[in-house]
């Protein structure tokens, strides 16, 4: 049997069957290079009141990077406040606790103040405000930090949730590869226009709507609970993974932001593309094929666990030992041998269990 090309070991890496070129460059974080911003030089500490201007719009943001190793790819949390900016102006009541939990998962946090100084809302001039955030990310944050755009979390409260649901996610999703959103106290669907959203983004971006049962009507008759349920229905209908929490005893002003965020981070933040299942899932792999490439994604393994992954294409075999990341996951890719068309079977074996799957590939011409 023909020997296979030996490759250096990396966590969550891409592996190919003998003699073939890499499908995409591997990174130590497991993120495809196209989803890394490759920025550098940003401070690994907290910084309050940083300014940013784009065109005629200017505002400030608070950066929370303390405790995050910014020498490697990191995830990102973006916080959009409610009307008037209470949760921005009082970070110790909300976002500081959220940012400390985020830092444990190598996520830096950016809490932004709306550039709409007239209404002090995000949604009243939602189109322009979304473009301001895009400029902030592309011109500053993405250049200062090596952001893994598969691990971006959006957090909105009240009017911030409304903006996320009706403007930002509908028009600016191309900024990200995957991640998650938490909508607190609202997030309804008001029928705003949407640019096309990539199918891959829908598969790798999950949403969690959290609004209490007592948040069911203010003095103006607005019901955050009704909005929350309508928003969840809208995004679920588009094919996103959506979960909801509507606990008793919770109204608009006693939401336990920190506890809810910490729970979501613990479940999903360690995973590239937070839409996949929690790490508590039974150890196993999912195998998919595209053209002449097979991708095996493992989950549910113990952090650091060695897993032997073997691909069989006809009579040709490739075996690789990888280590699961801290979330118990890994990704391995195999390129089929030149001229091979058919089924490639992949088997993963570790202390947590053994799992296999298969996918069909098309023939690849020899080079």
Full-model pTM: 0.69
CATH of 1-30+278-367, one of 3.40.50.800, 3.40.190.10, 2.60.40.10, 2.40.50.100: 2.60.40.10
What pLDDT score does 234 carry?
96
114-118, 167-171, 254-258, 354-358: least confidently modelled range:
354-358
% of the chain beyond a pLDDT of 90: 59
pLDDT 10s digits, 89-121: 999 888 999 999 999 999 999 999 999 999 999
pLDDT of 331 > 80? The answer is yes
pLDDT of 31 > 80? The answer is no
pLDDT of 6 > 80? The answer is no
Q: H or E stretch including 355?
A: strand 353-361
Q: What average pLDDT does range 320-347 have in this prediction? A: 87
Q: 181-198 as b/e, with b when 16 or more CB fall inside 10 Å?
A: bbbbbbbbbeeeeeeebe
Q: What average pLDDT does range 153-177 have in this prediction? A: 97
pLDDT 10s digits, 248-305: 999 999 999 999 999 999 888 764 444 433 334 467 888 888 778 889 888 888 888 8
Give the best-scoring range by mean pLDDT among 6-20, 201-215, 281-295: 201-215
pLDDT of 348 > 60? The answer is yes
Beta-carbon contacts of 205 under 8 Å, excluding residues fewer than 6 positions away, are: 173, 176, 178, 179, 180, 181, 240, 241, 273, 274, 275
CATH of 34-269, one of 3.40.190.10, 3.90.550.10, 3.40.50.1820, 2.60.40.10: 3.40.50.1820
44-58, 166-180, 203-217, 256-270: least confidently modelled range:
256-270
Residue intervals in the chain for CATH 3.40.50.1820: 34-269
Tokens of 288: 């998919």
Q: What average pLDDT does range 343-355 have in this prediction? A: 84
**Beta bridge mates, 322:** 307
Q: H or E stretch including 230?
A: helix 224-237
Q: What average pLDDT does range 208-229 have in this prediction? A: 92
DSSP track, 233-288: HHHHHTT-EEEEE--TT--TT---HHHHHHHHIIIIITSSSTTSPPTTSPSEEEEE
CA–CA separation, 263 and 161 (whole Å): 19
Q: What average pLDDT does range 32-40 have in this prediction? A: 82
What pLDDT score does 341 carry?
86
The values of phi and psi at residue 113, to 5°, are: -105, 130
5-9, 218-222, 229-233, 300-304: least confidently modelled range:
5-9
CA–CA separation, 85 and 88 (whole Å): 5
What pLDDT score does 18 carry?
33
pLDDT 10s digits, 38-55: 999 999 999 999 999 999
The values of phi and psi at residue 185, to 5°, are: 60, 45
What does pLDDT average to over the chain? 85
pLDDT band at 364 (very low <50, low <70, confident <90, very high): low
């Amino acid at each position: 049997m023909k020997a296979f090309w030996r490759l250096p070991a990396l966590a969550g890496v891409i592996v190919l069957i003998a003699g073939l070129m890499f499908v995409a460059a591997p990174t130590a974080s497991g993120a495809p290079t196209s989803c890394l911003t490759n920025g550098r030089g940003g401070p690994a500490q907290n910084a309050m009141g940083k300014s940013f201007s784009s065109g005629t719009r200017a505002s400030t943001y608070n950066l929370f990077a303390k405790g995050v190793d910014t020498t490697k790819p990191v995830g990102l949390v973006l916080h959009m406040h409610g009307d008037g900016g209470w949760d921005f102006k009082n970070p110790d009541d909300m976002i500081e606790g959220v940012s400390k939990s985020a830092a444990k998962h190598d996520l830096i946090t950016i809490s932004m103040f709306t550039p709409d100084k007239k209404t002090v809302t995000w949604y009243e001039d939602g189109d322009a405000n979304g473009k301001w955030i895009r400029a902030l990310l592309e011109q500053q944050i993405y250049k200062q930090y090596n952001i893994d755009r598969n691990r971006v979390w959006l957090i909105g409260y009240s009017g911030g949730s409304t903006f996320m649901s009706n403007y930002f996610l509908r028009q600016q999703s191309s900024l990200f590869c995957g991640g998650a959103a938490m909508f607190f106290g609202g997030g309804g669907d008001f029928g705003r226009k949407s640019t096309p959203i990539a199918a891959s983004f829908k598969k790798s971006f999950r949403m969690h709507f959290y609004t209490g049962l007592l948040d069911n009507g203010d003095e103006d008759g607005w019901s955050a609970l009704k909005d929350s349920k309508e928003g969840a229905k809208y995004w679920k209908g588009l094919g996103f993974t959506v979960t909801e929490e509507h606990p008793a005893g919770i109204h608009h002003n006693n939401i336990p932001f920190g506890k809810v965020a910490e729970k979501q981070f613990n479940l999903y933040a360690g995973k590239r593309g937070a839409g996949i299942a929690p790490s508590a899932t039974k150890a196993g792999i999912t195998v998919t094929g595209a053209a002449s490439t097979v991708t095996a994604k493992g989950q549910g393994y113990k952090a650091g666990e060695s897993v032997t992954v073997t691909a069989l294409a006809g009579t040709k075999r490739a075996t690789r030992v990888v280590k699961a990341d801290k979330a118990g996951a890994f990704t391995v890719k195999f390129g089929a041998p030149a001229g091979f068309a058919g089924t490639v079977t992949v088997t993963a074996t570790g202390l947590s269990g053994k799992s296999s799957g298969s996918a069909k590939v098309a023939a690849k011409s020899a080079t």
